[in-house]
């Protein structure tokens, strides 16, 4: 594909200032599929300067102008969806049905959602004699991950465009190719020069330079809690706004009146979609102790119905994204065995018959305790940890006993009971009785899962500053 050794800065594809490159590896074949240029501080400086210049005019565009621009972006995005799905399949091993029906449409959805919020948003509100003006925050630095690349890029880019911000994006160097296509889409849609800029690179070379840059007004980061802390520390000296969407170890409480056959099967398979590489996955399932054997049987059958391989019948998941990720997951599975959890399905090593690619066996542990590594750490693979509880109060206590607080899940035959439990979870999101994600609802977490929100109106408002103009309306004597 084109532009892999270039950056998109000030409306043009330009060569990097360094000679550094990196191979992009297909995790299914373990072979390189492209080589990208890796940037440095000078490339960041050029991109930020372009974004700063563009902000002067783009921040003053009208609602109607930005609505028209977003519509053209959606038109161009729709025309490239097949290309994006194929690239995602190649760079992160995502099965084509999941890439084309879930991953890539999520990006289109964020542009559509931002457009809908923009249509009716009140940028100016009068409060007594003061006018409150909601104005674009400025130049936004964006660092995005590899696990839901288009979802995480577009849920930042779309509201930034809608509010009149300009931006510099550093996508994950592990799966960067879809971001290059998005830059082509934005260029074709007529996004003005300098409004969107793309610099590839790693965290120490590009991410740190962005976070500390005095002309970046806001950093929006999605990734690990460890890296998010580094972004926040680097940003501290310039007192810029920092929005963080970080890791998770979400609890899934199955109450004793739930339909176990339905819920356990649904949720084991659900957390294994995207090969378990979702920060909001319900990876800790909490079930009544006296029904652990029943749950184990259902969970084992569910996990064994998931095919971790390049292809197959039924629910097929791809490899995890890299050898480093594969090795980390193998170590955590072994720790679960060593710490005494019951290995109910899966285990270490590749699935039978798979010799190439970073495929992980769909794995279930039962009879785990909440102090085990498999219950504390974000595994980011198709590994379910099932923990028992004695009563509802203990289930809530276990759910909240974790440094993360991104999402949560509650299932019950009594909706009022499920709502009552949901209200006691210290998480930014809760799914009741299998409810899917809502692209207009805020996405984000408590505690070490980050701060700020993405998606919908609250995600839109992250890109706005509030100015109070006192005396806008003269006071009557």
| Annotated catalytic residue 30 | no
Q: What pLDDT does residue 475 have?
A: 87
Query: Which DSSP string do the residues of 72-96 spell out, in sequence order?
Result: HHHHHHHHTHHHHHHHHHHHH---H
Mean pLDDT of 8-15: 98
Cite the residue boundaries of each domain of the chain with CATH code 3.40.605.10.
7-246+450-469
Q: What is the torsional sign of CA 36, 325, 352, 266?
A: negative
- Residue 1 vs residues 4, 22, 126, 440: alpha-carbon distances, Å: 7, 15, 51, 34
Instruction: Give per-residue pLDDT as tens, 424-474.
Output: 999 999 999 999 999 999 999 999 999 999 999 999 999 999 999 999 999
Instruction: Give per-residue pLDDT as tens, 211-228.
Output: 999 999 999 999 999 999
Q: What pLDDT does residue 182 have?
A: 98
Cite the residue boundaries of each domain of the chain with CATH code 3.40.309.10.
251-438
Q: What is the mean pLDDT of the chain?
A: 97
From the candidates 245, 378, 454, 461, which is the catalytic residue? Answer: 245
pLDDT at residue 10 is higher than 90? yes
Spatial distance between the Cα atoms of 224 and 242, rounded to a whole number of angstroms = 15
Instruction: Give per-residue pLDDT as tens, 360-371.
Output: 999 999 999 999
State which fold the 251-438 domain adopts: Aldehyde Dehydrogenase; Chain A, domain 2 (3.40.309)
Give residue 180's pLDDT band: very low, low, confident or very high (50, 70, 90): very high
Which H helix or E strand runs over 220?
A: strand 218-222
Spatial distance between the Cα atoms of 341 and 118, rounded to a whole number of angstroms = 50
Mean pLDDT of 251-258: 98
pTM attached to this predicted model: 0.96
Instruction: Give per-residue pLDDT as tens, 185-217.
Output: 999 999 999 999 999 999 999 999 999 999 999
Say if residues 22 and 4 touch (Cβ distance below 8 Å): no
Spatial distance between the Cα atoms of 285 and 1, rounded to a whole number of angstroms = 42
Instruction: Give per-residue pLDDT as tens, 124-133.
Output: 999 999 999 9
Q: What is the torsional sign of CA 450, 453, 455, 460?
A: negative
Mean pLDDT of 233-251: 97
Tell me the residue ranges of DSSP E strands in 309-458. 315-317, 342-345, 363-368, 383-389, 404-405, 408-411, 431-432, 446-447, 450-451
Q: What pLDDT does residue 398 have?
A: 98
CATH hierarchy code of domain 7-246+450-469: 3.40.605.10
For the chain, percent of residues with pLDDT exceeding 90: 99
pLDDT at residue 477 is higher than 80? no
- In the 8-state DSSP scheme, what is residue 381? S
Give residue 118's pLDDT band: very low, low, confident or very high (50, 70, 90): very high
Mean pLDDT of 122-145: 97
Give the angle subtended at the CA of 344 by the CAs of 285 and 425, to the nearest 5°. Answer: 5
Say if residues 73 and 185 touch (Cβ distance below 8 Å): yes
For the chain, percent of residues with pLDDT exceeding 70: 100
**Beta-carbon neighbour count of residue 451 at 10 Å?**
16
Instruction: Return the bridge partners of 388, or none.
Output: 287
Give residue 414's pLDDT band: very low, low, confident or very high (50, 70, 90): very high
Q: 3-state DSSP call for residue 360?
A: coil
Q: What pLDDT does residue 121 have?
A: 98
Instruction: Give per-residue pLDDT as tens, 71-107.
Output: 999 999 999 999 999 999 999 999 999 999 999 999 9
Mean pLDDT of 241-252: 97
Q: What pLDDT does residue 476 have?
A: 81
Q: What pLDDT does residue 1 have?
A: 80
């Amino acid at each position: 594909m084109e532009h892999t050794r270039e950056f998109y800065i000030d409306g043009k594809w330009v060569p990097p200032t360094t000679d550094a490159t990196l191979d992009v590896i297909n995790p299914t074949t373990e072979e390189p599929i492209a080589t990208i240029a890796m940037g440095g501080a000078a490339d960041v400086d050029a991109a930020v300067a372009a974004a700063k210049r563009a902000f002067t005019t783009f921040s003053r565009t009208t609602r109607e102008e930005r609505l028209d621009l977003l519509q053209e972006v959606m038109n161009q995005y729709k025309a490239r969806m097949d290309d994006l799905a194929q690239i995602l399949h190649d760079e992160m091993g995502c099965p084509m049905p999941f890439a084309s029906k879930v991953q890539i449409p999520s990006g289109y959805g964020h542009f559509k959602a931002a457009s809908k919020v923009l249509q009716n948003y009140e940028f100016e509100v009068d409060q007594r004699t003061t006018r409150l003006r909601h104005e674009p925050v400025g130049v936004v630095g964006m660092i995005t991950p590899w696990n839901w690349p288009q979802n995480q890029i577009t849920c930042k880019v779309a509201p930034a465009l809608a509010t009149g911000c300009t931006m510099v994006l550093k996508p994950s160097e592990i799966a960067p190719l879809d971001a290059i296509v998005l830059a082509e889409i934005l260029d074709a849609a007529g996004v003005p020069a300098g409004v969107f800029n793309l610099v590839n690179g790693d965290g120490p070379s590009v991410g740190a330079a962005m976070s500390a840059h005095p002309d970046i007004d806001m950093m929006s980061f999605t990734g690990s809690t460890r890296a998010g802390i580094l972004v926040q520390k680097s940003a501290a000296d310039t007192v810029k706004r920092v929005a963080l969407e970080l890791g998770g170890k979400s609890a899934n409480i199955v109450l004793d009146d739930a339909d176990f056959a339905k819920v356990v099967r649904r949720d084991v398979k659900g957390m294994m979609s995207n090969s378990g590489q979702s920060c909001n996955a319900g990876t800790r399932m909490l079930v009544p102790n006296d029904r652990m054997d029943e749950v184990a049987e259902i969970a084992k059958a569910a996990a064994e119905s998931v095919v971790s391989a390049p292809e197959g019948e039924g629910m097929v998941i791809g490899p995890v994204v890299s050898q480093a990720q594969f090795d980390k997951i193998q170590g955590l599975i072994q720790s679960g065995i060593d710490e005494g959890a019951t290995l109910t399905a899966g285990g270490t090593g590749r699935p039978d018959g798979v010799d190439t690619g970073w495929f992980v066996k769909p794995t279930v542990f039962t009879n785990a305790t909440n102090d085990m590594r498999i219950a504390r750490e974000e595994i980011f693979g198709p590994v379910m940890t099932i923990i028992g509880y004695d009563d509802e109060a203990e289930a809530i206590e276990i759910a909240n006993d974790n440094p993360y607080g991104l999402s949560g899940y509650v299932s019950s035959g009594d909706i009022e009971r499920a709502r009552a439990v949901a209200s006691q979870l210290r998480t930014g999101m809760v799914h009741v009785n299998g409810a899917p994600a809502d692209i207009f609802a805020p996405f984000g977490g408590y505690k070490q899962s980050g701060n700020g929100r993405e998606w919908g109106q609250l995600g839109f408002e992250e890109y706005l500053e509030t100015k109070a103009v006192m005396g806008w309306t003269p006071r009557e004597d």
